[in-house]
Amino acid sequence: MAHDVPLVLGVDTSNYTTSVCAVSAEDGRLMAESRQLLQVPHGERGLRQSEAAFQHVRNFPSVMADLVDKIVSQGVRPVWRRIAVSVRPRPWASSYMPVFQSGLAVAASMAQSLGIPLTRTSHQEGHLAAAEYFAPMPSAPFVAVHLSGGTCDVVIARRTSFGYAIVRLGESLDLHPGQFVDRVGVALGLPFPAGPHLEDLARRCGDATGELVLKAPVRGASMSFSGPLTAALRAAEAGVPPHEVARAVEACVARAVSKAVEYALRRFETSRHVLIAGGVASNRFIQSAVRSRLERRVPGAAVAFAPAEFARDNALGVASIGYWRESGL
């Protein structure tokens, strides 16, 4: 017989994925999650905001049905206590992207109809909280990095009951790392988003870095990828094997991230803990290269990543922030 369990629902609507997640309102434990990638025509490098918003609206019935089926299959009858939703890319009032209004509309309507609280947060905070679910950080401020198709931030983060207090140290000077990966990937004939496909292609190199080396310009904690993009596209046109171009892109991102984080750790010596999140951070070669370089160059550095599945866009972190707010943590 099914029994009632109080739950917190998380909702996230990014440029890539419609995501929902349920965590226990009693202990924050992940109960179930469901997500669906947005469909991008082959050869394209993304969607217009209006098209992405339409796909989110179309996806919600199926992802919610899948989520509830997964919960019920555990012998649980969901009792929703709170809904949390990402309403902007970053946790600043000036940060805005229309696509997040799709999730807000659904979440706010559900919260009002159920008579339960609604917690608003940001996509970036959701990524950090999802990573912290698997790799908890100390209560003191720590260095965090968010790497995705729309964000490239190096920050000092401190957890609060509302999410995170964040001070940005560095950002992208031009392209975000996900844009770099996607543009090279699409040029190599890979589907969009190209990240997982580029990683698969680069595995043909084994552990080698290859002869192609792309510069990784960094200024302080800010990274630049427009120059490496041009060099990678020229290399592909010149006949460099696609798997070597893919590996050079991975190595470039890893060096840039490592240099930016090293700058942050040396400038702000209050913590040696580093949390790296976002879709680009799901790449295992990048994870290994960043961790190896930082732990070698910065004694005592402790670098953590979310598991690949929860480094990509998901609603676990958003639901977790809702749980923190519900429980007053």
Q: What residues have CB less than 8 Å from 92, skipping those under 6 apart?
A: none
Domain with CATH 3.30.420.40 in the chain: 3-135+311-327, 152-157+166-305
Tokens of 10: 């998380």
DSSP characters for 255-276? HHHHHHHHHHHHH-TT--EEEE
Q: What is the pLDDT of residue 105?
A: 97
Distance CA 188, CA 316 (A): 32
- From the number of C-beta atoms within 10 Å of its C-beta (0-12, 13-18, 19+), residue 110 rates as middle
Architecture of domain 3-135+311-327: 2-Layer Sandwich (3.30)
Full pLDDT tens readout for the chain, 329 residues: 678 999 999 999 998 899 999 999 999 999 999 999 999 887 777 788 999 999 999 999 999 999 999 999 999 999 999 999 999 999 988 899 999 999 999 999 999 999 999 999 999 999 999 999 999 999 899 999 999 878 899 999 999 988 999 999 999 999 999 999 999 999 999 998 899 999 999 999 998 887 899 999 999 999 999 999 999 999 999 999 999 999 999 999 999 999 999 999 998 877 899 999 999 999 999 999 999 999 999 999 999 999 999 999 999 999 999 999 999 76
Q: Where are the beta strands (DSSP E) in the chain?
A: 3-13, 17-24, 30-37, 76-88, 118-122, 142-147, 152-160, 163-170, 218-219, 222-223, 273-277, 302-305
Helix (H) or strand (E) holding 236: helix 226-237
Please list the residues that pair with 9 across neighbouring strands.
22, 83
Q: What is the pLDDT of residue 1?
A: 65
Architecture of domain 152-157+166-305: 2-Layer Sandwich (3.30)
